[in-house]
Amino acid sequence: MKPIIAALAALTIATAQAATATAAERTVSIVLVHGAFVDASGWKATYDILSDSGYEVLVVQQPTIALRDDVAETERVIAKAKHPVILVGHSYGGMVITEAGDNPRVRSLVYLAAFAPDAGESVSTLAEAPAPAGEHKAPLVPDGNYLLVDTDKFPQSFAADVDPAITRFMAVAQLPWGLQAVQTKVDRVAWKKKPTYFMVTGDDHMIPPSAQRTMARRSGAKVAELKSSHAVMLSHPREVAAFIKSADTAASD
């Protein structure tokens, strides 16, 4: 039995070494930027998949009160990365990565159900157009100098394909979205300079899919479309992780 035990031990060590070697081969870091009304915990499943694939994954926990502060916090996290960065933004996070992506350490941008503004645009200006027939816009309600999603409508509007027990909690645990974040116009536009990827969520009731397609087309992004709610990283983490990894693969070709 001893030779068998020794062989199994050697195999275990070799497997662990191979896994370590694979992880060491990843020469790109991934920085994840969440959107409005939620915090960075929504990235957990995507983070796990990407980390298990050998990537260094950093997560920004920006307060979503003022755009300039959120950009600064994102750049602070980018500075910690060991490698060139794939910068990923969900929803309002797209506003943040459009500016923060101008950082020279950022190699490419990934937008997930996100705003992708041009210079001089804000969330407010991008959201001015009415939703086309059959599509929906976020049911927002004012709260002083902040915006929230209508609590009763949050589950269906934000994450209709996620466990209702989770979305009911998300609705009451919302982070208020500051009007400075909503109304501030973008100055720097990284997608004009860097490879860009855009995942359109076809069942989105927060940012109309047609608006996403228009922004994706304008940015010259490589586009994928998924039948998903706005909360795509919660309902489809494997597809999201694969899409993010495709930005690394394309850059390596």
Phi, psi at residue 96, to the nearest 5°? Answer: -65, -45
* pLDDT tens sequence across 29-38: 999 999 999 9
Query: Cα separations (Å) of 197 from 28, 40, 162?
Result: 16, 21, 24
Enter the DSSP assignment of 128: -
**Cβ-proximal residues to 109 (8 Å cutoff; 6+ apart), any chain:** 86, 87, 88, 89, 97, 98, 101, 190, 191, 194, 195, 196, 197
**Cα(17)–Cα(197) distance, integer angstroms:** 33
Q: Which helix (H) or strand (E) holds 44?
A: helix 44-52
Phi, psi at residue 226, to the nearest 5°? Answer: -130, 140
**pLDDT at residue 129, rounded to an integer:** 87
Question: What is the chain's Cα-based Rg?
Answer: 19
What predicted TM-score, i.e. pTM, was given to this entire model? 0.90
Domain parsing of the chain, residue ranges: 26-252
**Cα(51)–Cα(26) distance, integer angstroms:** 10
Q: Is the pLDDT of residue 10 over 50?
A: no
9 — pLDDT class (breaks 50, 70, 90):
very low
Amino acid letter, residue 83: H
First vs last Cα of the chain: how many Å apart?
48
**Cα(103)–Cα(112) distance, integer angstroms:** 20
Choices 3.40.50.1820, 3.40.50.720, 3.40.50.300, 3.40.47.10: CATH for 26-252: 3.40.50.1820
* pLDDT tens sequence across 44-82: 999 999 999 999 999 999 999 999 999 999 999 999 999
Beta-carbon-side half-sphere exposure of residue 20 (alpha carbons within 13 Å): 6
Q: Is the pLDDT of residue 132 over 80?
A: yes
Exposed/middle/buried for residue 94 (C-beta within 10 Å: 0-12, 13-18, 19+): buried
Which is it for the CA torsion 174, 153, 111, 181, positive or negative? negative
